[in-house]
Structure 1
Amino acid sequence: MSKDVEPPRGEWGDAAAANAVDESFVDVIGGTVLSELLVASAADCFIVVDEAGRVVFTNPAVQRIFGYGPEELVDHPLFELIPERLRDAHRSGFEEYLRRGERTFDWDDVRFRGRHRDGREVPVAMWFREFAHDGDRYFVGVVRDVSAEVQRREELAAERAFVGSVFDALPDIVYAFDRDGRFLRWNEQAGEVTGYTDEEIRGLDPLDVIPEEDHERVAASMQRVFTEGTVETIESRLVTKEGTEIPYEFTGAPLVENGEIVGETGVGRDVSERKRYEETLERLDDLNTAIRSVDRALVDADTREEITRSVCTRLVEEGAYCGAVVGSLDGDGVGLDVDAWAGLGREMVEVAADRAEDGDVPSIVERAAESGSVQVSENVTSGPMVDETEGTERSRTFAVVPLLADDQRFGLLGVCTHRVPGLSDRERAVLGELGEVIGNAIQSALTRQLLHSDAVVEIELRSRDADVPFVAVSEAADCRLDLQRSLSFGDEQVFYFASSGVPADRIRDAASSVPAITAVDALDDGRFEFRTCGGTITSVLAELGARTTAGVADHGEARIVAELPSDAAVREVVDAVQERYPDTDLAARHETERSLQRPDEFRRTLATDLTEKQQAALEAAYFSGYFEWPARTSDAGAVAETLDIAPQTFHQHLRVAERKLLSALFEDARRGDALDRSRT
């Protein structure tokens, strides 16, 4: 006979019971009543077969296990109690033993599947013995139904398989080791993360995967688990087979057996993402602190120079970055001309202008200037961007931020950090917002400086760009248009031009062919009012803090004169205009002094221009409350009566005085001079 499976051995007492059957069988044959009672009442099934494999005896327990009565099996082949798929193997094994007399397996606790009378299979265990009687060979077997045992084993195996699959499916490392530091169990993740094989893990000590500098701290935590039975959580790093260190959090609990702590079981969790998140929050906190400091500095700064210097200093001193620099595009358009810097700001400039070796990939400065958005270079290891502190080279990350206001660029801010990872998406967004804050501050400072400064830079721009509305009108109408004033109302621009000797219809027809011009009105004395949408060169200049002082569009060419603060970045202003209107050039640049008229001087000048009656009408109307609209305290009749003149005469004097007042306020005597100077 052979066994279907050969699981772990049963109790040794079962083999002794099979040995006792030899004598029991003899006693039964001899008619011993006691032996007969013992066999008949046994819980296990006793089966005796001859050398032909036929049943010669069985006890009543056979019915409980196989469903047959004891007498029904006598003279039947034993193999009827074996499933058909296993009969040939059992028969060949039995016959081989009869021929050779050699056992091919242990006869104690043979496990196989028996066949019940109803056809179902029953897991059984059998102990065999051979004996002789009256010269004939017999075999006795003690058979036990092990269905409950098999079921328990299968349930346990299924449970262990389930637990094992859960452990292996966990993204965390699960492990257990004894008090001597020998690993008892671990999941697949342990090998995948550390790079060690199961055999290698079996020979490791838990501290072998911990950095040496953390050994004492981690060992103390393990000792508390063993001695105090506490659950311990500790952060360290997990060292892989290749030497890579990964931030990990380990939670260990007592491994208890029979009420005694025999080891530690635990979970190791990769906290790299959490560390990155914490570092990002910390960096954003540093950045927010720096931005608040920058905001305070912007309030106090009056000039562009003060703004750029304060921004760089605050960003570095508040710990947001290890370097900061502000500048404008250099002459080649690939790097920075430095205005202010702090920390490693100057060292950044060299690397920020680097292009790819083939020159096809723009520098980070070019990309930021062209895109108008924050650009980042990570893991920079060239030149001064390598951090060699503590004998370790660390790469740096730096960003270039356009300083924007009303879509116009007022320079570029560069910052760098050695922290890893470099810059999160949220930090990039914050830097973009900071760039707009700084850009608006610079624009306001330039405007204030232009309004209050005696020293200015005067530039003349020449343009033949057909997208400039008045270039197109002057060419289509074959005329000259002299700019008198430009006003802004949201997205709409209003321009007042003068033109002599040109029919109004010709101007209107020419303007109707220019999409940017939405309306044209002919005024008196050859003047025209143009309305445009989307702006023109003068609006670009205004956004950059420049003031247009004169302008002419003459037969398809425009000349614009504008004033900028003395420290303005002229190159950036010209670049911004050329970006919108490429066929535009800088024709001239002058540094000049302008005389700002004080209020008392303005009043004296106006007084000399007004007649006595005009000034009297103006002063009487003002001080009597005539201009307090809508709650006037007097009307024209009352003021005229005070002056002892007719109301009509009062109105005449008042209108002339108002025109002279507004002319003195709005007319710029230097407008013509500016164009005259630009021609020389």
Structure 2
Amino acid sequence: MDTVTVQSVTDDARPQVLLVGRSESVESTADGLRDAQPAFAVTTATSGERAQSIVADRDVDCVVCAEALPDTDGVTVLYAIRETYPSMPVFLYAGGGTEELASEAISAGVTDYVPTTLAEEQPAVLANRILNAVEKHRAETALEDRERRLARLIDNLPGFVYRSEDVPPRTMALVQGECEQLTGYDAAAIEDGVDWLDDVVHPDDREDVRETISERLRDGDHYELTYRIRTDAGTIKWVWDKGCGVSEDDEVVALEGFITEITDRVERRQELREYETLLETIPDGAYVLDESFCFRTINGALGELTGYERDELLGAHISTLTDADAMTDSERLRSELLSGTRDVATMEADVETADGDRFPAELRFSTLSDDAGEEFAGTAGVLRDTTERKERKRQLERQRERLAAINQLHRVLEDITVSVIETPTREEMERRVCERLVESDSYALAWIGDVDRGTRTISPSTFAGDGDGYLDEVTITADETETGTGPAGTAVRTSEPQIVGDIATEASVEPWREAALDRGFRSLASIPITHRGSVYGVLTVYSERTDAFEDRESEILDTLGDVLGHAFNAFQRKKTLMGDVLTELEFRIPELESPLAAATEERDCSIAVDRTLPAGEDEFLQYLTVEGIDADAVRELADRVDSIDRVSLLGPEESGSDHQVEVSQTAPPLTSTVAAFGGRVRSGTVRDGEFHATVELPPDADVRSILEAVREQYPDAELVAQRTTEQDAVTTGEFRSSVFEELTEKQRTALEAAYFSGFFEWPRENSGEEIADTLGVAPATFSQHIRTAERKIGDVLLEGDRDDESDEE
């Protein structure tokens, strides 16, 4: 029975020796080998079959086989082993060798032929031979493995290795790898004469390749460089070339290196440089955050916007620039990005700079993934300063608000202008104006105030809007005190509009600032309501916008003040003319400073004021009856009065010393003063240097205030009489009321001018062209006013008769 002895092997480097022989001698031979070479791990087998099995199952470094075995011979065993392991060391030992046996052993590929006596009697010699054979086999095997691995590596490399005996490389002596894929030339072409520098390297890079390699070799270094090549097809590629010199006797005789294509890498780097350049040139801040919201990359603009140095922000948390609310929004949006709900996130936040200042910004960002495109790797985004954008937006909003306000004002002005005739009372007009002004969002509060001439207090008579008790809380006057130097008081005193663009900073509104700001008011406008120099009140409008009353808005409000002044004057005059009961005042003004008045002291003459008519802004026509002065004296005296522009005699000059005179002059003080209170000078006479005037006023007129106003113009004026009178029910009351109710102011002015100019006399004392010229209108316009007035008077006179005739039919 075959026996196998296996020695425990703990060192993989120990030679594994299989000793095959007969049972009676194999163990003793094995012991001799073990004693001679303890490093051997010796295994024994007593049959050829068992020996082949052991070789197949174990790592065996050497087989020593006897020539004669129980089941076969040693040569047969060696042949079988060589079929599987052609290079393994095998020894054959025999008792008496013959040339025939030696020949067969050699044919079987025996490593050494050993006599039996050597194996049995000189185990140390045998052990030494075995050790040499094993070491040689191991070295050859390692070299073969290295060459095999190197060949496999070269086959798998994305490029090729080369050897060139030219320094720098021109003709390649050896090329292995993907040469043709890279250059378009196969290895044979490269080795057979393609000049690497002249035929392959790009012309613009040849000199740099030559100088760089030569310089590195002189310094004894490896060389590593990047350059372009031109393939056999003319394609330009980028390559990376790394190599070293092969030296003999301290002289470089060849080059060995590796070349691989890096076109994609170079293009990516170029793209990256372009991206980096782009990021550094854009005015917006660009950044990359890691998974923990810390800055991983930033561009220069982000540092400039925030005032931080690059090193201060890199690694810092984004909360360095934003507050907790912004972080909450950012985390929420990042979750939506990761869940696929959105591709790009946009949010607004206030950014805090290194100096502690803050500015509004828009942050737009998306997520990043790892190289495999699977794992979340942070976010990349852009931070944009939106200060200018928000300011432009605010400007557009202000422009829209201003446009809306202007449109609203136009509508109010149009409505009030049209409704002047239809609105029955001043109170209704005031209410309508205030309500229309606050209909839109342009204005928050509007009120109209009257001035008490005694106390100089401005009291709101009408208001509309959400004042929340503001008008009850404040006191406004028109005097020189602190409460009178505000917008409303100043507007009344100067008859000029007063604009406050910012209530928070304007000094003139100090007494009312807190109350106004508490109610959201930011600007206001106070517009005097005037007509022909008389102030009828003040319109004040508040807005929640700063600088709300600039340019066009102020102009329209100013026009609205003029329209209201005209309307209020008409209301007062209508009240005077149409009322059945009037207050009549008689004034005496001694020592009237006028050449005409002085003439009445020197001569036995008098001047009666028959009618005063408005003829334009601050211009009036007065119709006088002069008795006791000839025509030339009237002209001479009138020329000495500065306020008289023109004097015209109505009728022939041959009429002696009694004349009807038309005088054009700037605003007569008494007429303007009385008109401000809704009254009119019914008659006036100058005799002996004194002026006596009778004034008609509404029954509720404030006589004390009127007297004070008259004395502001004529300090010596005396109130001679005050009485209440009733107008004639038919001729003066109802008839005049119905006539004047039908006529417009221009029609009435034209009618009165025609009447007192003798237009209706025959022959006419003045033509229509002359009267039109006096009034400053076209003849056609004057003719139209006269015809319309005549028709309206006819309607009033004959309306009843016409109705009667209709009934009879």
Cα separation, 2, equivalents of 1:141 and 1:443: 112
Indicate the SS of the match to 2:627. coil
Cα separation, 1, equivalents of 2:733 and 2:538: 44
Question: Out of 492, 497, 504, which is 1:373 matched to?
Answer: 497
| Alignment partner of 1:520 is 2:648 | yes
Indicate the SS of the match to 1:378. coil
TM-score calculated relative to the size of structure 1: 0.56
8 Å Cα contact 1:322/1:416 also seen in 2:
yes
Q: Match of 1:133, as an amino acid?
A: E
Question: Out of 710, 717, 726, which is 1:587 matched to?
Answer: 717
Partner of 2:540: 414
Partner of 1:136: 251
Cα separation, 2, equivalents of 1:499 and 1:314: 51
- Which protein has the larger Cα radius of gyration, Structure 1 or Structure 2? 2
| Alignment partner of 1:399 is 2:525 | yes
Question: Out of 514, 517, 527, which is 1:386 matched to?
Answer: 514
Task: Give the deviation of 1:596 after TM superposition.
Answer: 2.7
Task: Give the deviation of 1:506 after TM superposition.
Answer: 0.9
Question: Out of 496, 500, 505, which is 2:627 matched to?
Answer: 500
Cα separation, 2, equivalents of 1:201 and 1:572: 76
| Alignment partner of 1:337 is 2:458 | yes
Partner of 2:680: 547
Q: How does 1:119-268 map to 2 (within 5 A)?
A: 127-137=242-252, 140=255, 152=267, 156=271, 159-160=274-275, 163-164=278-279, 167-168=282-283, 181=293, 223-224=335-336, 226-230=338-342, 238=350, 240-241=352-353, 263=379, 265=381
8 Å Cα contact 2:500/2:525 also seen in 1:
yes
8 Å Cα contact 1:566/1:591 also seen in 2:
no
Q: Match of 1:484, as an amino acid?
A: D
**Count of aligned positions:** 532
8 Å Cα contact 1:404/1:439 also seen in 2:
yes
8 Å Cα contact 1:304/1:567 also seen in 2:
no
More relative contact order, 1 or 2 (CA 8 Å, 6+ apart): 1
Partner of 1:271: 390
Task: Give the deviation of 1:111 after TM superposition.
Answer: 5.7
8 Å Cα contact 1:457/1:589 also seen in 2:
no
8 Å Cα contact 1:518/1:531 also seen in 2:
yes
CA distance 1:34–1:177, change in 2 (3 Å):
closer
1:4-49 CA distance string (max 9 Å, x none): xxxxxxxx99xx999965xx357x99xxx994466997878xxxxx
Q: Match of 2:246, as an amino acid?
A: F
| Alignment partner of 1:448 is 2:448 | no
8 Å Cα contact 2:586/2:692 also seen in 1:
no
8 Å Cα contact 2:349/2:361 also seen in 1:
yes
8 Å Cα contact 1:475/1:554 also seen in 2:
no
Partner of 1:63: 198
Cα separation, 2, equivalents of 1:256 and 1:591: 102
Cα separation, 1, equivalents of 2:481 and 2:724: 44
CA distance 1:455–1:150, change in 2 (3 Å):
farther
CA distance 1:586–1:592, change in 2 (3 Å):
same
Cα separation, 2, equivalents of 1:233 and 1:593: 85
Indicate the SS of the match to 1:380. coil
8 Å Cα contact 1:18/1:140 also seen in 2:
no
8 Å Cα contact 1:308/1:339 also seen in 2:
no
Indicate the SS of the match to 2:628. coil
Task: Give the deviation of 1:81 after TM superposition.
Answer: 3.0
Cα separation, 2, equivalents of 1:40 and 1:601: 127
8 Å Cα contact 1:128/1:139 also seen in 2:
no
1:593-640 CA distance string (max 9 Å, x none): 5323243486999xxxxxxxxxxxxxxxxxxxxxxxxxxxxxxxxxxx
Q: Match of 2:684, as an amino acid?
A: G
Question: Out of 448, 451, 454, which is 1:326 matched to?
Answer: 448
Q: Match of 1:499, as an amino acid?
A: V
1:198-246 CA distance string (max 9 Å, x none): 6676678778877767877776566545544547898866354488787
Q: Match of 2:679, as an amino acid?
A: A
Q: Match of 1:366, as an amino acid?
A: T
1:104-151 CA distance string (max 9 Å, x none): xxx55446999xxxxxxx999653524321342468486989997899
Q: How does 1:605-616 map to 2 (within 5 A)?
A: none
Cα separation, 1, equivalents of 2:708 and 2:302: 59
Task: Give the deviation of 1:60 after TM superposition.
Answer: 0.9
8 Å Cα contact 2:521/2:542 also seen in 1:
no
Task: Give the deviation of 1:533 after TM superposition.
Answer: 5.8
CA distance 1:366–1:572, change in 2 (3 Å):
farther
Q: Match of 2:449, as an amino acid?
A: G
TM-score calculated relative to the size of structure 2: 0.48
CA distance 1:142–1:221, change in 2 (3 Å):
closer
8 Å Cα contact 2:158/2:260 also seen in 1:
no
8 Å Cα contact 1:290/1:318 also seen in 2:
no
Question: Out of 661, 667, 689, which is 1:529 matched to?
Answer: 661
Cα separation, 1, equivalents of 2:402 and 2:639: 56
Task: Give the deviation of 1:548 after TM superposition.
Answer: 1.8
Q: Match of 1:238, as an amino acid?
A: D
8 Å Cα contact 1:182/1:204 also seen in 2:
yes
CA distance 1:508–1:434, change in 2 (3 Å):
closer
Question: Out of 557, 569, 583, which is 1:431 matched to?
Answer: 557
Cα separation, 2, equivalents of 1:463 and 1:185: 95
1:543-579 CA distance string (max 9 Å, x none): 644312233457988676544446668999899999x
Indicate the SS of the match to 2:632. helix
8 Å Cα contact 2:609/2:684 also seen in 1:
yes
Mark the runs of 5 or more structure 1 residues left unpaired by the alignment: 1-11, 45-57, 69-78, 115-121, 606-664, 666-680
Task: Give the deviation of 1:443 after TM superposition.
Answer: 2.3
Indicate the SS of the match to 2:502. strand
Indicate the SS of the match to 2:635. helix
1:379-438 CA distance string (max 9 Å, x none): 42645422699xx99774332222244565322222334445654545434433443343
Task: Give the deviation of 1:62 after TM superposition.
Answer: 0.5
Q: Match of 2:631, as an amino acid?
A: A
8 Å Cα contact 2:217/2:223 also seen in 1:
no
1:176-212 CA distance string (max 9 Å, x none): 7677655677777766766666667667877887776
